[in-house]
Amino acid sequence: MPDPAETEPQRDRPPPRLGRFILLAGALFALVLVAGTLLRLHARHQLHAQTLAAAIPTVTIVHPGGMATDRLVLPGRLQAWYSAPAYARTNGYLRRWYVDIGQKVQQGQLLADIDTPDVDQQLAAARAALATRTAQRDLARITTRRWDRLNAQNAVSQQETDERRGNFAASEATRHEAAAEVDRLETLSGFKHIMAPFTGVVTSRATDIGALIVAGTSAAQPLFTVSDVARLRLYVSVPQAYAARMHDGMVVAFTVPDYPGRTFQAHLIHASDAVDPQSGAMLVQLVYDNAENLLKPGAYAQIAFTFPGTGTAAAVRIPASSLLFRRDNTTVAVMDSSHHVRIQPIAIVTDFGTELEVTGLPPQSAVIDNPRDDLRDGDEVKPQQPDHPHGA
């Protein structure tokens, strides 16, 4: 029979399975504790990395354009070489017109006739007055000669002779006045015939048969407009950045909506040599030989100026928005291969408005566009390439 003293400690000892379960639970708790600690450390590391990454500014990189040929396209307006409105110089009614819009006319060709009854009556009266003054002058001349002979014979006084001479001189002056009035009215009557001032095309007609013609008023409209379209003037305003490149004789190409896909050529003949302070542009005049009568005055045109480079071998093109203005000089921010900023001084050769031609910058440089004002040399940046590099 077993001893009770020996069996009592065996009843107090835990079963083997319970001990293994406690060990397994402890290990699992320790594993969860370690995993939680590692996750927290990893999250903290990620947050720190994200904070550092957010502190690095993202920049847009552009690459300078080379010395490609400049091409400037500007709007312009075609005008006739000569264009003259034909006004009436006398009052009346339009009797008849002989040409209409689109018809070619020669210099001196009759365009219209004006019926001028008032002027005709005044001319008839002036001619009658001239005849009267001529008769009075002739009588005064005969009388003066008679009194001169009588005065030579001492038959009349010198005073009476001088009076007759004065009457003759006054009659002569009155006759000249009447003749001048006849000449004026004849000239005015000649204005009843509207003539073409030069060879060209009738581009407007603003009258019709029976229309009242009132000359010499501010509201008077031209009866006709005659334009010489054998040559056309082409006016265009060129920005100041290109003003120095304009020279007489240069050939430019232009297009018009009338002939899509077709290019015409014009020659520069004059420039105003002055920049308009309001528009900042210089007016340039081109000429086009319109012998084929294809283009029309007043038409819209697009003029394409083509220029070679400035001749500066080290010059490149960058957007004007990439400039950094420092106290010492003009600079740009360039990103190196390690994504750090380098402040590069430059010199502006030509300002094209949205673009600049500069020196002191290698063509392979990665220029930062729209840089922040607080960007400093050595700062780390994160590049963001644009859809189309500059100068492509």
Distance CA 5, CA 238 (A): 121
**In terms of pLDDT, which residue wins out, 294 or 216?**
294
Question: What is 88-114+195-221's CATH number, 1.10.10.10, 1.10.569.10, 2.40.50.100, 3.40.50.300?
Answer: 2.40.50.100
CB burial of residue 69 (10 Å; 0-12, 13-18, 19+): exposed
Mean of pLDDT values over 58-87 = 83
Helices assigned H by DSSP within the chain: 4-12, 16-55, 117-152, 158-190
- In this model, does residue 57 exceed pLDDT 90? no
Question: How confident is the model over 218-272, as pLDDT tens digits?
Answer: 777 889 999 999 999 999 999 888 888 888 889 999 999 999 989 999 999 989 8
- In this model, does residue 379 exceed pLDDT 70? yes
Q: Any idea which residue has 């045109």 for tokens? A: 301
Distance CA 181, CA 191 (A): 16
Residue 98 one-letter amino acid: Y
Computed over every residue of the chain, the mean pLDDT equals 84
Mean of pLDDT values over 26-49 = 73
**Phi/psi of residue 202, each to 5°?**
-75, 115
Question: What is 58-67+312-384's CATH number, 3.40.50.720, 2.40.10.220, 1.10.8.60, 2.40.420.20?
Answer: 2.40.420.20
Per-residue pLDDT band at 172 (split at 50, 70, 90)? very high
* 256-260, 308-312, 321-325: range with highest mean pLDDT: 256-260
- In this model, does residue 311 exceed pLDDT 60? no
Percent of the chain with pLDDT over 90: 39
Per-residue pLDDT band at 3 (split at 50, 70, 90)? low
pLDDT at 314: 62
Mean of pLDDT values over 164-185 = 93
pTM for the full predicted model: 0.56
**In terms of pLDDT, which residue wins out, 160 or 25?**
160
Distance CA 334, CA 339 (A): 9
Residue 230 one-letter amino acid: A
Q: How many CA atoms lie within 13 A of 160 on its CB side?
A: 12
Percent of the chain with pLDDT over 70: 86
pLDDT at 37: 79
- In this model, does residue 206 exceed pLDDT 60? yes
Q: Which fold has domain 117-191?
A: Helix Hairpins (1.10.287)
Mean of pLDDT values over 53-68 = 73
Domain boundaries 225-307, CATH class: mainly beta
Distance CA 377, CA 36 (A): 42
Per-residue pLDDT band at 330 (split at 50, 70, 90)? confident
- In this model, does residue 113 exceed pLDDT 60? yes
Closest CA to 66 of 353, 316, 252: 316
Question: How confident is the model over 13-26, as pLDDT tens digits?
Answer: 556 677 777 777 77
Determine the straight-line distance between the first and last CA of the chain, rounded to whole angstroms. Answer: 106
Q: How many residues are recorded in the chain?
A: 392
| Range with the poorest average pLDDT among 120-129, 291-300, 307-316, 363-372 | 307-316
Mean of pLDDT values over 378-385 = 80
- In this model, does residue 312 exceed pLDDT 60? no
| Range with the poorest average pLDDT among 188-197, 259-268, 369-378 | 369-378
pLDDT at 125: 95
pLDDT at 388: 46
Per-residue pLDDT band at 283 (split at 50, 70, 90)? very high
Residue 299 one-letter amino acid: A
DSSP string, 105-154: E-TT-EEEEEE-HHHHHHHHHHHHHHHHHHHHHHHHHHHHHHHHHHHHTT
**In terms of pLDDT, which residue wins out, 119 or 24?**
119
CB 336 within 8 A of CB 342: yes
Q: For residue 157, give every residue at least 6 positions away whose Cβ sits within 8 Å of its Cβ, in sequence order, or none.
A: 151
Paired tokens of 8: 């009592």
Distance CA 367, CA 361 (A): 9
**Phi/psi of residue 115, each to 5°?**
-85, 120
pLDDT at 21: 74
- In this model, does residue 390 exceed pLDDT 70? no
**In terms of pLDDT, which residue wins out, 38 or 166?**
166
